[in-house]
Amino acid sequence: MTDEGIRTKILVVDDEPDNVELLTAYLLNDYDIIPAYSGSEALDILKSCEDDLPDLILMDIMLKDGMDGVEAAHFIKINYDIPLVYITAYADDNIMRRAKLTEPFGYILKPFEESELRTNIEIALYKYEMERRLKESKKWLTAVLNSIGDAVIATDEEGLVKFINPFAEALTGWDQDEAIGLPLSEVFVVENEVPGEKADDPIQKVMKEGMFYGLGSHTVLVTKSKTQIPVDVIGSPIRNEAGKLLGTLVLFYDISERKRVENMIYYQNSQKDM
């Protein structure tokens, strides 16, 4: 069941009427069953009910109407967000390789028991719901990070860029599509503007100190176009619930105006002392 009082709808696709009848008999008490006897019929059904799609699809791999179950599943994966479980008695290695590419939520081998069928259905629905929540969580987090008024870059545990928000794109000169997968040191290039002084590596600093505030008072960001921008930098480790390091979060912002004011005050004070 999906929500209380709403029955889960399952599209059963099999070109053997006896198999469809058996599946319906097993499941009808707890699920609403929509039968289809070919891949093309299944696609027609989905097209006709796009506002009320089934919650799960049970798909026979070895359909014989010119479109096998894998072809139908491939189309469904591209066009619909519906979990799919394959049912098969036999499939050669080539078909199984193709089937894996459609990312099914399970396989049920014929002959099967009713309990096995129900277990696979419930596991598939649960996995799909968890994946849906994870995707929603990622969308929410991305929206938050994109809305932050400072530049943000996140890396994985190996220091490769996994996320860069629009403010970081603007400051570094790197587009997200270019930056993702590159080492942080290639996208976020920092130097110390004082000759002979070296800027800290933010990832190494996080590894040694955990969260930090600032790489130094003379840190400059070297953009993709080789422009130097004075920046303030905050770094933080990204850890899972067990405390394992998953990556690094680097937040930075342009302090050109602050530096300009500081230099002006310094100049005015030095003039007074003369």
Using CA atoms, how far apart are residues 58 and 104, in angstroms rounded to an integer?
A: 10
Shared domain for 39 and 120, answered yes or no, is yes
Shared domain for 253 and 149, answered yes or no, is yes
The residue ranges of the chain whose pLDDT is under 50 are: 1
Shared domain for 14 and 115, answered yes or no, is yes
Q: Is residue 38 part of a domain?
A: yes
Q: Is residue 115 part of a domain?
A: yes
Q: Is residue 264 part of a domain?
A: no
Q: Is residue 175 part of a domain?
A: yes
Task: Give the per-residue pLDDT at 268.
Answer: 63
Task: Give the per-residue pLDDT at 43.
Answer: 93
What is the residue range of 186's domain? 145-258
Task: Give the per-residue pLDDT at 144.
Answer: 76
Task: Give the per-residue pLDDT at 4.
Answer: 56
Task: Give the per-residue pLDDT at 185.
Answer: 93
Shared domain for 188 and 152, answered yes or no, is yes
The answer to whether the pTM exceeds 0.85 is no
Shared domain for 117 and 166, answered yes or no, is no
> What pLDDT, in 10s, does the model give residues 30-74?
999 999 999 999 999 999 987 889 999 999 988 887 888 999 999
Domain count along the chain:
2
Point out the domain boundary residue: 95, 126, 157.
126
Q: Is residue 112 part of a domain?
A: yes
Task: Give the per-residue pLDDT at 262.
Answer: 61
Using CA atoms, how far apart are residues 111 and 176, in angstroms rounded to an integer?
A: 49
